[in-house]
Amino acid sequence: MPRPKVLYNVGMTADGKVVTAAGDSRISGEEDLKEVHRLRAEHDAVAVGINTVRKDDPMLNVRLVEGEDPIRVVFDTECSIPLDCRLVRTARDIPTVVLCAEADPGRVEKLEKRGVKVEEVGACEDGVDVERGLELLYDMGVRTLLLEGGPTLAWSFLKRGLIDEFRVAVAPVLVGGSDALTPVEGEGFPRVDLGVGLELKRVERVGRDVVLWYEVSGSAADLASEHEEARGRSS
């Protein structure tokens, strides 16, 4: 089934964290944030997991450069997105879609009254069925998706071969913290040779940050089936 092309973008410290153990995720420098807004404007939709909404209360719009706002998408298993978060409060002005596994009709009504489109796409082992969710976005006309995290949702995409490109802005700061999250969390692959291979396409200095832009090497579908086979062989 066709799905949108997915770019996963994060801001990371030089020691590999996307948020401190205490919850501060203001990592990218000013110039990179402008680039992120450019990327938002170039994509049909931008997606995050519900924890990112809870922790950051993001806007996910285009405001640091000129450009159109993308559709904002939240992967929210139980449709628990707070009614007073900024995404919901601005859903009448910027298209906002909540993809959930299942939803209470009363909750759906409250969200839809506020302009949010709620789609029940069913569940997978991690939460919302991501493959079905991407197919549905494709049916809605979304051809390009900017995945902005967080790392738990990113693992769910990655292990299914659903990330095509990875862009990381490395900030010149070390924060430590064994509980501080990295760009991809979840169970992880058991061996390095089972990991998703990347090909470096570009390195650039953006303000004080260094941006690394990778393509997933090989087709995502091939990688997903290779990983399945290899995981079968290793267990």
Ligand X SMILES: NC(=O)C1=CN([C@@H]2O[C@H](COP(=O)(O)OP(=O)(O)OC[C@H]3O[C@@H](n4cnc5c(N)ncnc54)[C@H](O)[C@@H]3O)[C@@H](O)[C@H]2O)C=CC1
Q: Among residues 4, 70, 149, 161, which is the contact residue for ligand X, using CB under 6 A?
A: 149
**What are residue 74's DSSP bridge partners?**
48, 98
Interface region with ligand LIKH6CAM, contact rule CB under 6 A, candidates 4-12, 114-122, 126-134, 226-234: 4-12
Q: Among residues 41, 43, 47, 52, which is the contact residue for ligand LIKH6CAM, using CB under 6 A?
A: 52
Smallest distance from ligand LIKH6CAM to CB 191, Å: 29
Smallest distance from ligand X to CB 58, Å: 8
Smallest distance from ligand LIKH6CAM to CB 193, Å: 29
Query: What is the 8-class DSSP label of residue 210?
Result: E
The binding track of 109-148 with respect to ligand X, each residue x by CB under 6 A or -, is ---------------x-xxx-x-----------------x
Q: Among residues 38, 51, 59, 207, which is the contact residue for ligand X, using CB under 6 A?
A: 51
**Contact indicator for 3, 121 with CB cutoff of 8 Å:** no
Take residue 93 and report the two structure tokens written for it: 């002005």
Q: Is 32 in the site for ligand X (CB under 6 A)?
A: no
Q: Among residues 3, 4, 7, 11, which is the contact residue for ligand X, using CB under 6 A?
A: 11
**Most distant CA atoms of the chain, gap in Å:** 51
Give the span between the Cα atoms of 123 and 186, in whole angstroms: 17
Q: Is 77 in the site for ligand X (CB under 6 A)?
A: yes
Q: Which residue is nearest to ligand LIKH6CAM (CB)?
A: 11
**Contact indicator for 2, 131 with CB cutoff of 8 Å:** no
Terminal Cα distance for the chain, rounded? 29
Tell me phi and psi for residue 187, to 5 degrees: -70, -35
**Contact indicator for 4, 45 with CB cutoff of 8 Å:** yes
Give the span between the Cα atoms of 28 and 39, in whole angstroms: 14
Q: Is 36 in the site for ligand LIKH6CAM (CB under 6 A)?
A: yes
Residue 38 sits at the vertex; the CA angle it makes with 142 and 219, to the nearest 5 degrees, is 50
Residues that bind ligand LIKH6CAM in the complex, under the rule CB under 6 A: 9-11, 25-28, 36, 48, 52, 56, 58-61, 148-149, 169
